[in-house]
Amino acid sequence: MGIFGSNEELNLSEPGVLVIPTLVSDCVPDVCSEFISWATGGIDERAAQQVVAAVEKLKGSNGWLPLDSLREIGIMDFKNGPLTFLKGMTVGDYPLMGVWASYGTRGKDQRQIRTTVERLLRTQGHAAAATWALIARPNARLDLDFLGSQLRESWHSNVSYVRNKDFVKSFTKWKI
């Protein structure tokens, strides 16, 4: 290709259900674990068990959280209890993962990579989206540690606005 083009080989084939390699699961954090750690710190054991049980119900067959499982949960919609804050944690994940996976590409390739990553994020979770990006761009320098740190930073930033009274209110209005 020309001076401004890319000669990177892309494998943009349609992924099926992806098996998550250890390399990815070691670097890409699990939003459920991060949320449970955040949400259960400082609450009584019974309430913590309720949070853990509710989060476990949302996980996909691969053990990761497909973001489509949060579709019916509103942000600051307290009838879903503290799960509303899980939805709020992940609000920036689509652009973050899309930019990470498509960095250095342009045009049609960039759109296809972002679209596929976003779909996998919705249907199979963060690790599956990262796995596909590594498969699709085997010669790219996609840094999983950087992705992991950016996801954690985003999640913690997104719940930093939660006030204690909102957290308590989410439990009192929760329709289990």
Could you read off the pLDDT of 94-109 as tens digits, one per residue? 999 999 999 988 999 8
Give the mean pLDDT of 7-28.
84
Q: Which residue has the tokens 């992940």?
A: 90
On the question of pLDDT at 2 being above 50, the answer is: no
Report pTM. 0.90
Residue 172 has pLDDT above 70, yes or no: yes
Residues for the chain: how many in total? 176
Whether pLDDT at 1 is above 50: no
Show contacts of 1-7: CB within 8 Å, 24+ apart: 6/104, 6/105, 6/106, 6/109
Is 87 within 8 Å of 123 (Cβ atoms)? no
Residue position matching structure tokens 């401004």:
4
* Extents of the domains making up the chain: 22-172
pLDDT tops 80 at residue 8: no
Q: Kindly tell me if the per-residue pLDDT of 40 is higher than 70.
A: yes
